[in-house]
Amino acid sequence: MALNLDLVGKEWEGAGRRWTSTDTILYALGVGAGAEDPSAELAFTTENSHDVAQQVLPTFAVMLGGRAAMPPLGDFDISQVLHAEQSVTLHGPLPVEGASRIRSRVVGFYDKGPNAIAVIEGTVTDADSGALLAEVRSGTFIRGEGGFGGERGPATPWERPERAPDHTVTYRTRPDQALLYRLSGDRNPLHSDPWLADKAGFDRPILHGLCSYGFTGRALLHTVCDSDPARFGSMSVRFASPVLPGAELSVLIWEDGDTCRFQTTAAGTVVLDRGVFTKRV
């Protein structure tokens, strides 16, 4: 097994994704919208409610990219791969339906001792108008692929504020949350197949990191953006611990002007860490 280190710095461009009104609704349901009160988030879960225009949850942007025509990052078992970090920057509300193009770049492979992290960033544009929709950046944790003598990667300072959170938002995930979320496009069997989950060292399939990310994005949207996608700027996190479907997620938010720091916990364990959110003004 080996990483494809020659990919560092190279770029690829190609089709991203075509989506419909139904896709954006399915994504919203997949990250818990309407689960506790079906009438509370109709702008994101319906397309034909009286006097309610359909809108798109901003974190749907992470589903619009892909990796264009990029070759595989290396030759390794999918059971050894986990999502390590994710960020997204929005340039305005996402259209309810459309098509995207993506320009992707491998930022680097970072050596974390026995393990490795691959970082990829992409620019998502509207396929028809060319308008910039979002910028995305993700880190993939690959077990057993470190030790190749590379750099450890940049360190970004982050400290939990020494005061109680300004807001705490709690959502409960469904036992079948991963089965619902995977319909938005992430069909990694780690989140549905007990055999693969056991091979990866888990008692049962775990929730997608990006599903927890979407739940957290909803909390930030409704709490600090007055539920207005136009005010949703950027959101970055590090995935700290796996989440089992059915868990209760609590999002702890500390406001500082147009910037927030946040963590998401499950049963007292931090599962999304080093969170930074900025509002668009």
Taking only the tens place, the pLDDT of each residue in 151-197 is 998 888 999 999 999 999 999 999 999 999 999 999 989 999 999 99
Asked whether the predicted pLDDT for residue 1 surpasses 70, the reply is no
Confirm whether 186 is a catalytic residue. Answer: yes
Residue range 226-230: average pLDDT? 98
Give me the CATH number covering residue 232: 3.10.129.10
Q: What global pTM score does this model have? A: 0.94
Asked whether the predicted pLDDT for residue 124 surpasses 90, the reply is yes
pLDDT tens for each residue of 54-97? 999 999 999 997 655 677 888 888 788 889 999 999 999 999 99
Q: Are 197 and 203 in contact (CB under 8 A)?
A: yes
Asked whether the predicted pLDDT for residue 280 surpasses 80, the reply is yes
What residues contact 244, with CB distance under 8 A and at least 6 apart?
Answer: 203, 204, 206, 207, 266
Q: How confident is the model at residue 237 (pLDDT cuts 50, 70, 90)?
A: very high
Catalytic residue among 23, 83, 111, 186: 186
Mean pLDDT of the chain: 94
Q: Which amino acid is present at 172?
A: R
Confidence (pLDDT) at 68: 55
Asked whether the predicted pLDDT for residue 28 surpasses 90, the reply is yes
Number of domains in the chain: 1
Q: Are 143 and 118 in contact (CB under 8 A)?
A: no
The per-residue b/e assignment along 214-244, b for 16 or more CB within 10 angstroms, e otherwise, is bbbbbbbbbbbbeeebebbbbbbbbbbebbb
> Which structural domain range is residue 192 located in?
2-279
Confidence (pLDDT) at 66: 61
Catalytic residue among 83, 191, 198, 208: 191
Confidence (pLDDT) at 137: 95
